[in-house]
Amino acid sequence: MAATGSPRLLLATEHTEQDQGAERLAFDLARRAGAPLAAVLPVAFNAEFESAAPELAARADAEVASRRLALEAAAGGAGVELDLAVRRGAELYAEIVEEARERASDCIVIRHRGKRSLLANLLMGEMVAKVVAHAPCSVLVVPREAALWRRGVLLGLDPQQPDLTALGRALGLAGDFAVPLHVVSVAPHAHAQARSDAERVLQHALAQAATSRPGVPTGGEVRVGTVHAELIAAAGAQGADLLVIGRHGGGAIARAWIGGVAQKVIGLATCPVLVHVPPSSTTQR
């Protein structure tokens, strides 16, 4: 998603009120890159319904056509050339994932859906959670009111499975937007070994950042506690308006992790959250 790299973005949207933030941010990124924006409008398809209720099916098709025209008009008004595909299927998330795979997308931009709740799993829609878990590329989840980051990027690193490719992505995003990067490594408890592991990962990341992108102001800290809560607290303390986290592995592993840390971070964050997926990562549909 670097402004200088013409990234292959894919906007996934149903063009509802909940999609406004994702659409606005994707349009802004496309303008910065000076490139057309790929988009997918997923539509639920049920062959049994189509044949049993043709009048209702025709009405649904008209609604899809209306949304498509409105989305194309919104992109045109934002000065963005839109390459839009409408995909029909039983599972909306699967259509989005397949579109990203076919286009070899670098990043899917999608809405963050839901209202605040005591249960983080209620803060992210099921479709969005499945896209994040199965995507063949990184996923940028955007709250409705969010905008491009202008204050800072925060990267959360897992001391047990640090993904330093996420560090490279975070550095690029911070550098392209001329904002600082803050790296946080969270020890799950105060035991000496846990703190030592977190400190070791942090120092290695900071040293690598200083070597690879010396022009990006980079700092960091070790925090102790519940991972998602500490990352959210750190973002608030630093004033960061983009949070970057990694997705571990693929298949069942990724889905299990999405059910934990990532889902809670996405659900509770008020800023965009980029779930970084390494280029070599594979997922099962």
Question: Along the 285 residues of the chain, how does pLDDT read in single tens digits?
Answer: 644 456 799 999 999 999 999 999 999 999 999 999 999 999 987 666 566 667 777 887 888 999 999 999 999 999 999 999 999 998 999 999 999 999 999 999 999 875 444 444 445 678 888 899 899 999 999 999 999 999 999 999 989 888 889 999 999 999 999 999 999 999 988 899 999 999 999 999 999 999 999 999 999 999 999 999 999 999 999 999 999 998 864 555 444 444 478 888 998 899 999 999 987 655 444
Close Cβ partners of 247 (under 8 Å, ≥ 6 residues apart): 132, 133, 254, 257, 258, 262, 275, 276, 277, 281
pTM of the model: 0.89
| Predicted pLDDT of residue 6 | 63
Delineate the domains of the chain, giving CATH numbers in brackets.
9-142 (3.40.50.620), 153-276 (3.40.50.620)
Interatomic CA distance for residues 210 and 216, integer angstroms: 8
Q: What pLDDT was estimated at residue 30? A: 96
The string of DSSP codes covering 23-61 is HHHHHHHHHHHTS-EEEEEEEE--HHHHHH-HHHHHHHH
pLDDT for res 24: 97
Do the Cβ atoms of 9 and 106 come closer than 8 Å? yes
Give the pLDDT of residue 117.
44
Position 120 scores a pLDDT of 43
Q: In what side-by-side order are the strands of the sheet with 37-44?
A: 82-89, 37-44, 9-12, 107-111, 138-142, 273-276, 242-246, 153-157, 181-187, 218-224
- Kindly report the number of other CB atoms within 10 A of residue 33's CB atom: 19
